[in-house]
Amino acid sequence: MAKSSGLGMTTLSVDDAAGTARDIRNDVTEFDFTTPRADQDVTGVDKSARERLLLLADFSGALKGFFNPAANRIHDVAKTVPSTSVQRTVAMTLNGVTLNNECVLTDYSVKRAASGELTVEVPFALADGTTPTWA
């Protein structure tokens, strides 16, 4: 396996409120996500360094991009965030590796900059308790 860039995203889809996956790659300019693990400090007084146990896994992040009100695009997917409480599949494939998770979208932020840019941000977080796993 060779080192890879972030170019050539082959899948970046998010379910709409009805559960249909929508390809929003063209509307997203950047994204971030994290897959942290909680840990518990179990250091006894007999130790001189920390001792920890790994606990629950998590997954969260945000999609950032351009406002696009066309059907089945980023606005159409995210506009229902304040009015629905549904889980959505967030699917990503880059350089042949995939990370799919059931998430809740937690906000839909639209920003109009002084320059006239109209951008959006859609944060998401793990919803179903399934450990995030790369395939």
Structure confidence by residue, pLDDT tens digits, 57-110 = 999 999 999 999 999 999 999 999 999 999 999 999 988 899 999 999 999 999
Sequence-distant (6+) residues with CB within 8 A of 18 are: none
Mean pLDDT of the chain: 95
pLDDT tens per residue, range 26-54: 999 999 999 999 999 999 999 999 999 99
Looking at the chain, list the stretches that DSSP marks H as alpha helix, in order from N- to C-terminal side. Answer: 74-78
Please check whether residue 84 lies inside any domain of the structure.
Answer: yes
- Residue 66 forms part of a structural domain: yes
| Structural domain includes residue 41 | no
The residue among 105, 72, 76 whose CA lies nearest residue 90 is 105
Tell me, yes or no, whether 5 lies in a domain.
Answer: no
In terms of Cβ atoms closer than 10 Å to its own Cβ (0-12, 13-18, 19+), residue 94 is: middle
Question: What's the structural domain count of the chain?
Answer: 1
Q: Is residue 87 part of a domain?
A: yes
Mean pLDDT of 8-34: 94
* In a domain? residue 45: no
Residues of the domain holding 118: 11-35+56-126
Domain-embedded: residue 43: no
Q: Is residue 95 part of a domain?
A: yes
